[in-house]
């Protein structure tokens, strides 16, 4: 019997899903993972793990896992696939994609990813090697996940920022330089339920144990709201008004940081004038938050030094998301809480290492100005939305699907879909996506399991690896980490390996400088002065020291700007409360509030017909989006898709706890089991997204129960924001509850 060996590595994507970068210990015996637990020596998670990591053995060795490349043999949707070799799979992809390129141009193939797992690097690399400008988070209406907030931060303050929970220090909470935030304003996030965007939710809990008070902004009651000093229970989608109301109080009551405002902000007088349009009573009427609570929260936050602001994806799902983010940036800036210990700390990729482009500057750095300029000419949405054009390299999701549908202004014929269950969870208007994507000539899906997307669309399915099966690296904030392969399952390959091989086939000349994926990693890691192997020898991660990549007060030390002067990395050198970049792009240079496209106020007639505000997609530790429904340890804790209904609402609709009902609007209806709870307000309901049932038939028309359970069947689109970023209507759709009759069950 061979002995058990223990290896440290980093969990990033396949397995738990996730944007986090936690350290985990793999227990390997006879080449198999037999157990996993959190690495207590790792500064990110200090030994903690989520249930999805703990269930990893069930995920990796699941009988349904795809472990060989597959070729469709029946009609699309029949669910008939046959195993083929990797060589054959690569050959088919190369030949079919090149055929499309020859006839219609490289732009006729789109490259679609899901959320920020370990995918941005490999997929952008492949997209550009093929020569297509259309790299897209397909279906994510308005790119409504972090990108609106990131784009706004880049435009307004030239950098990104996150709540400082000491994550930039190896010593973490024991670092004497760090301060416990006095108050954390948690805006649309329930920290224990997920680790969003390279941030470990539990850090907030740690801060609470050390004394941080919480103000939470959430329409529902959650773990964090019930432990908050103040809970602002706003109507979904009205955060923009609330933020402006709080700014109104802070400015009019003189609670802002005068020195910081004077030295480091631009356009304070204009902001001051704008917030006069949002007096507290008016904001109370818009948001349903009592005026005295808005005032109290504004005072508590402004009087806390340091105070931090931690936000979640509902900000991106507001109609004018980039404007809401702008207002929140104004909050942390005029209170002087940016770039200080325990406030909002500037977040840069560790050592400036980029796996994939966060900004257009980085895009140019990685791929050269010529390629970027040339690609921008054809990139879907770049002409329509200057902000989309000028931030990151993504095509616009809603415009992409419209173009796939119409073929205008040029046809799209193929799709490479990798780490995205477009039909099963990501896309709003799911049926429209289904119909449009069915028109494509050739579709590759790279995934680990069959799901509604592979079944309905794939011509070729390529089996991807989980994190213990892969080599990769991670520079998404700090530390700089490597992920190291320790096991192999079937013939699965990593996204990097697959895309590297395909990229070489499409662009042999351009890529001849790299023989292996590790060579490519080493080039990307070069700015850190480290190689893949030496980071591995050091235990798998390195933390940047003093300089542009380490907090604090970098704006005073001159670390933020290319010219080395003090200030922020914007044209004015200041945080632009009045944002000149927005002005140049034809957007409102000051934050403003816009009512959601469907709401009691904007669509009163629709509201009469569909009198419930439906919030969707509140995260659970058990699942990552549409993943994990087949994992026994996780699924047993949440067997059925439920809808949270307040007892008063239940009475109004004459439904009882446990009853199966339809959630319905003009787009269709979806089944849910009623869960009576006071977590939601009367008149609002909450249900999770990403539901399909792996235990049902996968072929058409069932598609694993997709059309019965996929809530995005009734989520409308396209996005409604003027910047092109934000405004996916995932948290603010109107619906009603319909009782089932007769044979329905
Ligand atoms: N376990 C797990 N972790 C995850 C994910 C997962 O699927 N599973 N997904 C990952 C991804 S891609 C993302 S984007 C993040 C998202 O995670 P979060 O940013 O936390 O987003 P949600 O869970 O959708 O919503 C957070 C809270 O916002 C409240 N909320 C709903 N509507 C509104 C609103 O209009 N305004 C305000 N202020 N609050 C509102 C909800 O009630 C909920 O309590 O999580 C990431 N982490
Ligand atoms: N109604 C509603 N819909 C929503 C949301 C909401 O709040 N409400 N949230 C939206 C948000 S914020 C986001 S980001 C999207 C996310 O949407 P997606 O990122 O598309 O998430 P999933 O549905 O989990 O699909 C991911 C697929 O990739 C596979 N996969 C996982 N890891 C890997 C990997 O490393 N490599 C490869 N090749 N495949 C992998 C999984 O098996 C799964 O099939 O959903 C959006 N959809
Ligand atoms: S949710 Fe947290 S613990 Fe789980 S994989 Fe992500 S970062 Fe790690
Ligand atoms: Mo997301």
Give the range among 54-58, 147-151, 350-354, 419-423 with minimum mean pLDDT: 350-354
Strands 733-739 and 612-616, by their bridges, are antiparallel
Q: How far is the CA of 690 from the centre of ligand 2 (A)?
A: 8
The burial class, CB within 10 Å (0-12 / 13-18 / 19+), for 170 is middle
On the 0-12 / 13-18 / 19+ scale of CB atoms within 10 A, 75 is exposed
Average pLDDT of span 130-134: 94
Beta bridge partners of 72: 81
Binning pLDDT at 50, 70 and 90, where does residue 357 land?
Answer: confident
CB 625 less than 6 A from any atom of ligand 1? yes
* Atom 10, ligand 2: residue with shortest CA distance: 426
Alpha helices for 438-531 (secondary structure H): 452-457, 495-506, 517-525
Of the candidates 113, 116, 144, the residue with the CA atom closest to the CA atom of residue 126 = 113
> Which residues make Cβ contacts (< 8 Å) with residue 183, sequence separation at least 6?
212, 213, 214, 215, 229, 300, 301, 304, 307, 308
Q: Name the residue with the closest Cα to ligand 2, atom 4.
A: 426
Residue that the structure tokens 């709201």 belong to: 225
Q: Whose CA is nearest to atom 34 of ligand 2?
A: 14
Per-chain mean pLDDT for the chain: 96
What is the whole-number distance in angstroms between the Cα of residue 23 and the centre of ligand 4?
22
Cα distances (Å, whole numbers) of residue 131 to 109, 374, 506, 596: 9, 10, 9, 38
Task: Please report the pLDDT score of residue 558 as a whole number.
Answer: 96
pLDDT at 362 over 80: no
* 17-52: pLDDT as tens digits: 999 999 999 999 999 999 999 999 999 999 999 999
**Pick from 459, 730, 539: nearest CA to 616:** 730
Cα(373)–Cα(551) distance, integer angstroms: 34
CB of 145 sitting under 6 A from ligand 1: yes
Answer whether residue 321 shows pLDDT above 80: yes
Q: How many whole angstroms from 181 Cα to the centroid of ligand 3? A: 23
Rounded Cα–Cα distance for residues 6 and 134 (Å):
41
Does ligand 3 come within 6 angstroms of the Cβ of 201?
no
Confidence check: pLDDT of 664 > 70: yes
409 neighbors 107 (Cβ within 8 angstroms): no
Ordered strands of the 135-136 beta sheet: 81-83, 70-72, 460-463, 442-447, 414-418, 109-113, 135-136
Rounded distance between C-alpha atoms, residue 318 and residue 298, angstroms: 21
Q: Where are the domains of the chain?
A: 85-136+356-475+480-542, 155-349+562-584, 604-739
DSSP state of 527: G
Q: Give Cα separations from 393 to 357, 364, 506 (angstroms).
A: 7, 10, 20
Residues 234-262 have pLDDT tens digits of 999 999 999 999 999 999 999 999 999 99
d(CA 22, CA 644): 31
Backbone angles phi, psi at 389, to 5 degrees: -65, -40
User: Is the N-terminal amide bond of 718 cis, ω within 30° of 0?
Assistant: yes
Residue 438 is encoded by which pair of tokens? 């069915």
- Residue 164 in this model has a pLDDT that exceeds 70: yes
Q: Which of 2-6, 344-348, 411-415 has the lowest mean pLDDT?
A: 2-6
- Average of per-residue pLDDT across 340-346: 98
Instruction: Please check the confidence at residue 640 and state whether its pLDDT lies above 90.
Output: yes
Neighbour-count burial of 365, counting CB atoms closer than 10 A to its CB (0-12 exposed, 13-18 middle, 19+ buried)? middle
Kindly report, residue by residue over 198-228, the tens digit of the pLDDT. 999 999 999 999 999 999 999 999 999 999 9
Q: Which of 116-130, 630-644, 654-668 has the lowest mean pLDDT?
A: 116-130
Name every residue whose Cβ is closer than 8 Å to that of residue 31 and which is 6 or more positions away in sequence: 487, 488
Pocket test for ligand 2, best of 426, 615, 667, 688 (most atoms within 8 A of CB): 426
* CATH class of segment(s) 85-136+356-475+480-542: alpha beta
Give the model's pLDDT for residue 743.
63
Instruction: Using a pLDDT cut of 90, give the percent of the chain over it.
Output: 94
Q: Are 171 and 293 a contacting pair, CB within 8 Å?
A: no
Among 87, 94, 88, CA closest to 73: 88
- Please state, in angstroms and rounded to a whole number, the distance separating the CA atoms of residues 692 and 452: 8
Per-residue pLDDT reduced to its tens digit, 670-721: 999 999 999 999 999 999 999 999 999 999 999 999 999 999 999 999 998 9
- Quick one: tokens of 217? 């902004």
CA-nearest residue, atom 1 of ligand 3: 195
Decide if pLDDT at 745 tops 60.
no
DSSP string, 523-574: HHHGGGT--HHHHHHTTSEE---SSTTS-S-HHHHT-SSTT--SS-SSTTSS
Task: Give the pairing of strands 414-418 and 442-447.
Answer: parallel
**Protein residues with CB under 6 Å of any ligand 2 atom:** 13-14, 17, 114-115, 117-118, 140, 145, 313, 418-421, 424-426, 446-449, 451, 464, 495, 616-617, 624-627, 689-690, 711-712, 715, 730
The full 3-state SS of 140-166, as one line of letters, equals: CHHHCCCHHHHHHHHHHHCCEEEECCC
Answer whether residue 563 shows pLDDT above 60: yes
Q: Which of 18, 69, 115 to mutate to test the pocket of ligand 2 (most atoms within 8 A of CB)?
A: 115
d(CA 245, CA 617): 27
Rg (CA), the chain: 25
Q: How distant, in Å, are the alpha carbons of 105, 203, 422, 476 from that of 199?
A: 40, 8, 25, 10
Going by C-alpha positions, the residue among 587, 593, 114 that lies closest to residue 315 is 593
pLDDT in the model for residue 561: 97
The per-residue pLDDT for 373 is 86
Looking at domain 155-349+562-584, which of 3.30.565.10, 3.40.50.720, 3.40.47.10, 3.40.228.10 is its CATH number? 3.40.228.10
Q: Measuring from atom 5 of ligand 3, which residue has the nearest CA? A: 16
CA pair distance 333, 256, nearest whole angstrom: 9
pLDDT (tens digit, 9 = 90+) per residue, 487-502? 999 999 999 999 999 9
pLDDT at 415: 98
Nearest ligand to the CA of 476 is 3
Q: Quick check: 163 and 310 in contact, CB under 8 A?
A: yes
For the segment 521-527, the average pLDDT, to the nearest whole number, is 94
How many other C-beta atoms can be found within 10 angstroms of the C-beta atom of residue 518? 17
Q: Which CATH number fits domain 604-739: 1.20.140.90, 3.40.1160.10, 2.60.40.10, 2.40.40.20?
A: 2.40.40.20
The pTM for the full model equals 0.97
Q: Is the pLDDT of residue 75 over 70?
A: yes
Task: Please say if the pLDDT value at position 744 is more than 70.
Answer: no
- Parallel, antiparallel, or unpaired for β 660-665 and 733-739? antiparallel
Return d(Cα 1, Cα 138) in angstroms, integer.
Answer: 48
Q: Cα–Cα distance between 229 and 225 in angstroms, integer?
A: 8
Q: Over pLDDT 70: what percentage of the chain?
A: 99
Q: Give which of 694, 597, 483 is closest to 9, Cα–Cα.
A: 483
């Amino acid at each position: 019997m061979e002995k058990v060996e223990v290896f440290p590595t980093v969990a990033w994507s396949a397995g738990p899903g996730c944007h986090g970068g936690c350290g985990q210990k793999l227990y390997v015996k006879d080449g198999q993972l037999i157990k996993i637990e959190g690495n207590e020596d790792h500064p990110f998670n200090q030994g903690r793990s989520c249930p999805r990591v703990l269930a990893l053995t069930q995920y990796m060795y699941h009988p349904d896992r795809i472990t060989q490349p597959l070729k469709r043999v029946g009609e699309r949707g029949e669910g008939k696939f046959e195993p083929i070799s990797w060589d054959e799979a690569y050959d088919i992809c190369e030949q079919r994609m090149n055929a499309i390129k020859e006839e219609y141009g490289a732009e006729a193939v789109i490259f679609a990813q899901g959320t920020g797992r370990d995918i941005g690097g490999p997929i952008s690399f492949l997209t550009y090697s093929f020569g297509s400008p259309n790299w897209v988070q397909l279906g994510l209406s308005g790119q409504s996940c972090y990108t609106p907030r990131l784009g706004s931060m880049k435009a307004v303050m030239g950098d990104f920022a996150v709540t400082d929970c000491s994550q930039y220090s190896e010593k973490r909470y024991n670092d004497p330089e760090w301060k416990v935030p006095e108050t954390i304003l948690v805006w649309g996030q329930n920290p224990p339920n997920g680790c969003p965007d390279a941030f470990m939710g539990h850090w907030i809990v740690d801060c609470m144990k050390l004394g941080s008070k919480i103000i939470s902004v959430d329409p529902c009651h959650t773990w964090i709201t019930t432990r908050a000093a103040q809970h602002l229970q706003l109507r979904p989608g009205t955060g923009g008004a609330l933020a402006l109301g709080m700014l109104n109080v802070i400015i009019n009551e003189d609670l802002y940081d005068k020195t910081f405002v004077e030295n480091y902000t631009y356009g304070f007088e204009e902001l001051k004038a704008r917030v006069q349009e949002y007096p507290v009573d008016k904001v109370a009427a818009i948001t349903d938050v009592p005026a005295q609570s808005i005032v109290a929260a504004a005072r508590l936050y402004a009087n806390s030094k340091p105070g931090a602001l931690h936000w979640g994806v509902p900000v991106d799902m507001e109609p004018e998301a980039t404007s809401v983010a702008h207002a929140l940036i104004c909050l942390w800036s005029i209170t002087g809480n940016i770039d200080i210990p325990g406030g909002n700390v500037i977040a840069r990729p560790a050592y400036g290492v980029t796996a994939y482009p966060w900004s257009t500057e980085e895009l140019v750095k990685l791929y050269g100005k010529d390629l970027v300029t040339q690609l921008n000419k054809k990139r879907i949405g770049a002409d329509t939305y200057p902000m989309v054009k000028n931030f990151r390299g993504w095509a616009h999701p809603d415009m992409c699907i419209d173009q796939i549908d119409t073929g205008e202004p040029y046809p799209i014929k193929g799709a490479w879909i990798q780490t995205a269950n477009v039909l099963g969870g990501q896309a709003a208007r799911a049926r429209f996506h289904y119909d449009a994507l069915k028109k494509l000539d050739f579709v590759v899906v790279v995934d680990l399991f069959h799901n509604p997307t592979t079944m309905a669309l794939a011509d070729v399915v390529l089996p991807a690896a989980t994190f213990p099966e892969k080599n990769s690296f991670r520079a998404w904030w700090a530390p700089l980490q490597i992920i190291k392969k320790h096991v192999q399952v079937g013939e699965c390959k990593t996204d990097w390996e697959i895309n590297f091989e395909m990229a070489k086939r499409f662009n042999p000349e351009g890529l001849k400088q790299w023989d292996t994926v590790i060579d490519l990693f080493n080039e990307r890691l070069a700015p850190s002065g480290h190689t893949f192997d030496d980071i591995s020898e050091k235990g798998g991660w390195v933390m940047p020291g003093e300089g542009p990549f380490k907090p604090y007060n970098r704006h005073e030390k001159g670390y933020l700007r290319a010219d080395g002067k003090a200030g922020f990395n914007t044209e004015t050198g200041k945080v632009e409360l009045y944002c000149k970049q927005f002005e140049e792009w034809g957007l409102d240079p000051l934050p403003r509030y816009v009512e959601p496209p469907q709401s009691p106020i904007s669509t009163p007639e629709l509201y009469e017909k569909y009198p419930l505000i439906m919030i969707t997609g509140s995260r659970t530790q058990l699942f990552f989006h549409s993943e994990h429904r087949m994992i026994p340890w996780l699924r047993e804790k949440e067997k059925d898709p439920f809808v949270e209904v307040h007892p008063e609402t239940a009475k109004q609709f004459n439904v009882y706890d446990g009853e199966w009902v339809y959630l319905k609007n003009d787009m269709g209806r979806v089944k849910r089991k009623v869960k009576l709870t006071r977590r939601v307000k009367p008149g609002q309901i909450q249900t999770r997204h990403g539901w399909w049932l792996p235990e049902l038939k996968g072929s058409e028309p069932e598609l694993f129960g997709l059309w019965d359970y996929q809530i995005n069947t009734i989520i409308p689109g396209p996005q409604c924001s003027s910047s092109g970023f934000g405004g996916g209507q995932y948290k603010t759709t109107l619906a009603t509850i319909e009782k089932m009759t007769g044979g329905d069950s």
